[in-house]
Structure 1
Amino acid sequence: MTQPPWRRERRAHFPGLPAWSAATSRLALDDFGVIRHEEVTQQWAWGGGLGAGVRVCVLDTGVDGAHPMVGALERSLMVAHDGDELTIADCAPVDPAGHGTACAGVIRSIAPAVSLTSVRVLTDGRSGSGAALLAGLRWAVDEGYDLINLSLSTTRSEFLPTLHDLADRAYFRRCLLVAAAHNMPVLSFPWTFSSVISVASHDEPNPMTYYYNPTPPAEFYARGVRVPVAWPGGRMIRSSGNSFAAPHITGICALILGKHPWMTPFQLKSVLYLASANVVARNGDAHVPL
């Protein structure tokens, strides 16, 4: 196979079969390698990987591309107003708030070889319009990024249907959304969607330690308390929040995809679960973080 199935043109409908079906008696399906569950270790999943070849989009407040903890960006864009329309336009790699730079720095610290793109959808790290979020997310999904980091959410239910459609669209295009849980016990989106990877915090210092959470809606716990993060102006501060737990998982996902580039979101989420620190291996031992 020269091109993964999720990047190909959709096959024409097979006459005589229900919609979305395949005439497997006439057309062979692609083969996919299978790894037995007991063979999924952290070493197998991402050991030795750097995230090379993986494209990550950070939807946030922008990213300071000159920060030494971030490094060069593939692109820097923002949601702009063109009359009554919202457009995606190139912009200087700056961050007026710091939040996006912090998230990008975490991703780069775990997966140093990833290609990072910034799309500014928030203005000051706390506020932004739902329309801007939808416009930025739609653009990132259509551009085919492997991973989109969303350390943000909205409580406004009027955006739920469109957000849900975009999350599903991303899932079926092999574009995985990693979303931070809300820092307050309120209902918000899109982290509560089953088609995304949802992340809350634990309070341990190892950036590669993460846990599976069997009690939804947050699926995983990653480092999110007193995290050393990049801040505009070349600074480093310590900050806490689920916003900084999500990019830890985004970085680990990038490592996995760098080694196993044909994984689907379903497979990647399964590998994350199997390699979690609290999921025991066949011999009954828990994983020791790399």
Structure 2
Amino acid sequence: MTELPWRRERREHFPGMPAWSLSTSQAALEEFHVSRQEEITKEWAYGGADGSGVRVCVLDTGVEGSHPRVGGLERSLVVARGEDGRLAVTDCEPVDPAGHGTACAGVIRSIAPGVALSSVRVLTDGKAGTGAALIEGLRWAVDEGYDLINLSLSTTRTEFQPALHELADRAYFRRCLLVASAHNMPVLSFPWTFSSVISVASHDRPDPLAYYYNPNPPAEFYARGVRVPVAWPGGREISSTGNSFAAPHITGICALILSKHRWMTPFQLKSVLYLAADNVTAVNGGTHVRV
């Protein structure tokens, strides 16, 4: 089987059965690939993988596709208001007027060089943007069926919480995993606080593949985010700090895992990410301990 079941049209409802049910008397159980989880190590999780076959979308300020550290884009798009006054996602030149999106895309490419990267510009200057543009861009990316969406941004506006929550849950059940950075300030914001996303804060080690599980969420993982060398428009490179740059490290690692274990569901992927974290190790017959 080549078509992923979760990409298909939903089956017709079986008469006499509750909604969402399966009538095994009328439809044979189909065979499909399963990603079995053996004893989890980093080598099992992503050893030898480069992200090939995985599609990643970066919702941000745009991405300079010609930057050497980005290595080209599959698509470059922007959320813009059309002549009818409605927001829509349209193709645009692969440019970044701010730099933030280019930095995030460059980190993902450095971890998983084989991924197919796309960019949707929802922010204008690296900070400002509307909640409506974020929601429109995220809805488009989820419906397009990207495997991973990097969200190195958040909103404190509670009026956008319901729509973002609905989209995060829709993404989860479509096998489209959102990786979201925690806010750089100790404030409540969204979508990183939702349980259906992978939420990321920073640690200060220089190893780009070092990451840790946080037993005290809402930030579930820590990845490199302090003094990170990142791509910047004009072919430049700068050093920057922030949870924004921790998230794409985890996005890149998730891409490696998915490229090696293509049939993994979001909850399996999050479990593997946890079990392969640098501060978690499985002890036969025992519990998980810090190493």
Amino acid at match of 2:48: G
Amino acid of the structure 2 residue aligned with 1:43 = E
The 3 A distance-change label for structure 1 pair 120 and 28 is: same
Distance in structure 1 (CA, Å) of the matches to 2:159 and 2:95: 31
| Residue of structure 2 in register with 1:94 after alignment | 95
| Offset at residue 175 of structure 1 (A) | 0.6
Q: Give the aligned residue type for 2:176.
A: C
Question: 1:282: how far off?
Answer: 3.0
CA shift at 1:28, angstroms? Answer: 1.0
Moved more, 230-239 or 17-26: 17-26
Which runs of 5 or more structure 1 residues have no equivalent in the other structure?
none
Q: How does 1:31-180 map to 2 (within 5 A)?
A: 31-33=32-34, 35-36=36-37, 39-82=39-82, 83-180=84-181
Q: For the Cα contact (< 8 Å) 2:63–2:105, is it kept in 1?
A: yes
User: Is contact 2:56–2:150 with CA below 8 Å preserved after alignment?
Assistant: yes
CA distance in 2: counterparts of 1:163 and 1:31, whole angstroms: 31
Alpha-carbon shift at residue 11 of structure 1 (Å): 1.1
Q: Which moved more, 1:279-288 or 1:126-135?
A: 279-288
| Correspondence for 2:266 | 265
Q: SS where residue 131 of structure 1 aligns?
A: helix
Distance 2:261 2:37 in 1: 15
Q: What do residues 5-64 of structure 1 show as CA deviations (whole Å, max 9, x unaligned)? A: 101111111222211111235421544535345x11110110010000110000000001
Residue 24 of structure 2: aligned partner? 24
User: For 1:69 and 1:61, how far apart are their aligned partners in 2?
Assistant: 17
Name the TM-score, length of structure 1 as normaliser: 0.95
1:4 pairs with 2:4: yes
8 Å Cα contact 1:191/1:197 also seen in 2: yes
C-alpha change, 1:253 and 1:34, in structure 2 (3 Å) is closer
Q: 1:163 is paired with a residue of what secondary structure? A: helix
Per-residue deviation, residues 184-207 of structure 1 (Å, max 9, x unmatched): 000000000011000000110100
Amino acid at match of 1:155: T
Matches of 2:260 and 2:34, distance apart in 1: 14
Q: Which whole-Å CA distance do the structure 2 matches of 1:31 and 1:87 have between them?
A: 36
2:274 maps to amino acid: Y
Pairwise CA distance, 1:85: 0.1
The residue identity in structure 1 corresponding to 2:213 is Y
Alignment check: 8 A CA contact 2:34 2:264 kept: no
Moved more, 26-35 or 256-265: 26-35
Percent of pairs identical after alignment?
A: 76
Contact 2:200/2:221, CA 8 A, preserved across alignment: yes
Q: Which amino acid aligns with 1:2?
A: T
Q: Tell me, yes or no, if structure 1 residue 226 matches structure 2 residue 235.
A: no
The answer to whether the 8 A contact 1:149-1:247 is kept is yes
CA deviation profile, 1:198-222 (whole Å, cap 9, x unmatched): 0000110100000111111001000
* Residues 151-198 of structure 1 deviation map (CA, whole Å, 9 limit, x = unaligned): 000000000111011111111111100000000000000000011000
Q: How far 1:287 sits from its partner (Å)?
A: 9.8
For the residue of structure 2 that corresponds to 1:154, the secondary structure is coil
Q: C-alpha offsets along residues 216-267 of structure 1, whole Å, 9 cap, x if unaligned? A: 1001000000000000111111100000000000000000111111111111
Contact (CA 8 Å) 2:64, 2:96: kept in 1 or not? yes
Q: CA deviation at 1:2?
A: 2.5
Aligned residues: 287
Alpha-carbon distance in 1 for matches of 2:161, 2:3: 33
Could you tell me which amino acid in structure 1 is paired with residue 16 of structure 2?
A: G
The structure-2 alpha-carbon separation of the partners of 1:100 and 1:30, relative to structure 1 and needing over 3 Å to count, comes to: same
Read off the aligned partner of 1:21 and give its amino acid letter.
S
CA gap 1:247/1:213 in 2 versus in 1, 3 angstroms: same
Q: Provide structure 2 residue ranges, at least 5 long, that are not aligned to the other structure.
A: none
Q: Which residue of 2 aligns with 1:253?
A: 254
